[in-house]
Structure 1
Amino acid sequence: MKPVKKILLGFILIFLIVQMIQPARNIDYGQVPSSDISKIYQVPQKVQSILKTSCYDCHSNSTDYPVYAYVQPVSSYLENHIQKGKKELNFNEWGLYSQRKQTNKLKAIANQVKQRKMPLPSYLYLHQDAKLSKEKVEEIVNWIESLPTEK
């Protein structure tokens, strides 16, 4: 066997072996916890739909994984990214935040979507349906601004 074929075969074998190493998945199987933002605030259906489509994959305990997320090293990169997103903001754990933290997070969400910092451009590259139109940004911001500052 030629050296180039041996090297190529070795790379393929290593690639296949690495596929057996998969990180834990961020899946809650459709259960909405009592601490979810939708249980704490009255979230209009339109806003909830926008949040689920554009935010929940990285900012909740339930990610809708695309096919490529099961291929290493992409799966490890994505899982690390999701863990960082959940650490920053987790809509499923909203009720566990203090009132002050909730208020600050709401302001940050409005600010981030107005400035088009969220969803991340790298996420939008493969998830075009998550892109926030001007109308969707207004829906989110108007809802946040309509909330009482003290519950």
Structure 2
Amino acid sequence: MKWLTRVLLVLLVLFIVAQFFRPSIVVPRVDETKTLYHVESVPPEVRTILHRSCDDCHSNRTVWPWYNRISPVSWWLADHVKKGRKELNFDEWADFKPRRKARKLEEICDQVKERKMPLKSYLPLHAHAKLTDADRGALCQWSSALRTRIIAEHPEAARPAQSK
């Protein structure tokens, strides 16, 4: 029992010390003229779904939850959001080349149809973000139509990237 008490005490001390070492939370400025919502036509229903279920990880408008103040959770969340923004950031849409836009729009539909997004780890504390079948249908219909329009305007967007 003495051994277990010591281990628990060491873990408690490590946990307390970890609270002094948190990741820097970067809140990038949003240039409204570069956002998906400014550059493309996004129906109100789809905009609502994206804001509710996607923006925390795929925009610069992350609403950091209370548990983000607790290490090591803060490190995990900061890394998760950083990776999500790198993969797809709706607030930097204007900077994407047509090929990337077309690919991301296809991936949006694929990911929600396969129920890979939003992530299962996100949903327990964000039940409002859960997508219904109607939500998935609306996202796929919108992303497919927008992808078709982008490819019509930029035929090179339909071709896969050249391998080097």
Letter in 2 for 1:15: F
Q: What corresponds to 1:47 in structure 2?
A: 46
Alignment partners' CA distance in 1, 2:5 and 2:116: 46
Letter in 1 for 2:25: R
Q: What corresponds to 2:138 in structure 1?
A: 139
For the aligned residue pairs, the C-alpha RMSD in angstroms reads 2.2
Alignment partners' CA distance in 1, 2:97 and 2:5: 60
Matching of residues 54-93 of structure 1 within 5 Å: 54-93=53-92
**Which structure has the highest helix share of the two?**
2
Structure 2: unaligned runs, 5 residues or longer = 155-164
Alignment partners' CA distance in 2, 1:93 and 1:43: 15
Letter in 2 for 1:24: S
CA deviation profile, 1:24-47 (whole Å, cap 9, x unmatched): 224357x55321100110111111
SS in 1 for 2:57: coil
Alignment partners' CA distance in 2, 1:145 and 1:85: 21
Q: 1:131–1:32: structure 2 CA closer, same or farther, 3 Å change rule?
A: farther
**Kindly, what percent of the aligned residue pairs are identical?**
39
Q: What corresponds to 1:33 in structure 2?
A: 32
Give the number of equivalent residue pairs: 149
TM-score by length of 1: 0.86
Q: 8 Å contact 1:54–1:129 — kept in the other structure? A: yes
Structure 1: unaligned runs, 5 residues or longer = none
Letter in 2 for 1:25: I
Q: 8 Å contact 1:26–1:63 — kept in the other structure? A: no
Query: Aligned-pair distance for 1:127?
Result: 1.2
